[in-house]
Each structure stands twice: as C-alpha cells, then as structure tokens.
Amino acid sequence: MVELLLSLGANVNAPPAKKGGVTALQGAAISGDTSIAKILLDRGAHINARPAIEEGRTAIEGAAEHGRLDMVRFLISVGATGDPEKGFDRAIELAETENYFMIADFLREYQYMSAGFGTGMDAMFDGDFFSQLPSQGFVFSDENLENFNF
C-alpha cells in the first residue's frame, strides 16, 4: 500500500499534523515496521524529521516510547541522530516513562560510546554492527568480541 501511494505521488515527507501528528516514517517507527521504514527511507524520507509541534515525537523517540528496540537499532544504523544539544535524552526519558529500560540503557550506552569516550569505539558502529546485536540488547559473545580492538 505504501509503495502504491508513493507511486501515485504521495509526499514521503509530508509534515505531521500540528497536534500529535506523525510523518510516514515516524508512524512506521512507532508501529515498529522496519520494512515500511526501509521503503520510506529508500524513497527519501528524512530520518530526523521534526516532530509535530504539540505532542510530537521524532522517529527514534516514537520507537523508544513504544518499546520498539529493533526499530531503534535500525534507525541508529541508518543515521538517526539525537538533538544536537541533548542527544537522545528525550528518547531515553520516553522509554523509561513506559518502562522500556532496555531501550533507555541501549540509547544511553550508544550515546556515551558515540561521544568518543574510549578509543576505537567508532569502529564498533561501522557496517552492520547493529544487525549482529541480539534482540535482548547489548550482549556480547566471544565471537562478537573477536572483531573489536580494545
């Protein structure tokens, strides 16, 4: 259906309604539908599109708030960024409010590591590192650790 609408000229980056609205990508993130998110991104959806003015969420904030760990991981792997000043603080807060502590911890850890703490950590986020993470979150096996230089 999404592909049909896009082929008929639907705007992949149509702005959200003022109160509680979502872009198509934000809606896919909230629902946890990575296949739709991939289609939208392939068609030029803005990964860090601004949320609705009232009660809005960015894609990663919506995914975090609704417990969509796979979507959070996916969005980060394709370039989602946090607020320039506050990082993922709002997404972390929304996840914790809904008791999705694993997502909050994941985002906190990612934020810490991507801030440049520790040497060589950027390599950890190259390629398809996130696709190797189990659904449970940040769990390393001996096999994963072999690929990292600490």
- pLDDT, one tens digit per residue, over 10-41 is 899 898 899 989 999 999 999 999 999 999 99
Whether residue 9 lies inside any domain: the answer is: no
Containing structural domain, residue 68: 14-146
Q: Which residues of 41-80 are buried (b: 16+ CB within 10 A; e: fewer)?
A: bebebebebebbeeebbbbbbbbbbbebbebbbbbbeeeb
Q: Is residue 6 part of a domain?
A: no
How far is Cα 146 from Cα 143, in angstroms, rounded to an integer?
Answer: 5
Which pLDDT value is given to residue 144? Answer: 52
Q: Is residue 32 part of a domain?
A: yes
Rounded to 5 degrees, what are φ and ψ at 70? -60, -40
Q: What is the CATH number of the domain that holds 113?
A: 1.25.40.20
Q: Which of 8, 3, 95 is nearest to 24 (CA)?
A: 3
Checking if the pLDDT of 79 tops 70, the result is yes
Q: Alpha-carbon distance 147 to 103, whole Å?
A: 24
In a domain, 45, yes or no: yes
Model pTM? 0.74
Q: Give the per-residue pLDDT at 97.
A: 98
Tell me, yes or no, whether 1 lies in a domain: no
Percent of the chain at pLDDT exceeding 90: 60
State the pLDDT confidence band at 9, using cuts at 50, 70 and 90. confident
Q: Is residue 7 part of a domain?
A: no
In a domain, 8, yes or no: no
Domain tally, the chain: 1
Q: Note whether residue 2 is domain-resident.
A: no
Q: What is the pLDDT of residues 91-122, one digit of tens each?
A: 999 999 999 999 999 999 999 888 766 444 44
Confidence at residue 128, expressed as pLDDT on a 0 to 100 scale: 56
Question: What token pair was written down for 144?
Answer: 């994963």
> Is the confidence at residue 130, as pLDDT, over 70?
no
8 pLDDT tier (thresholds 50, 70, 90): confident
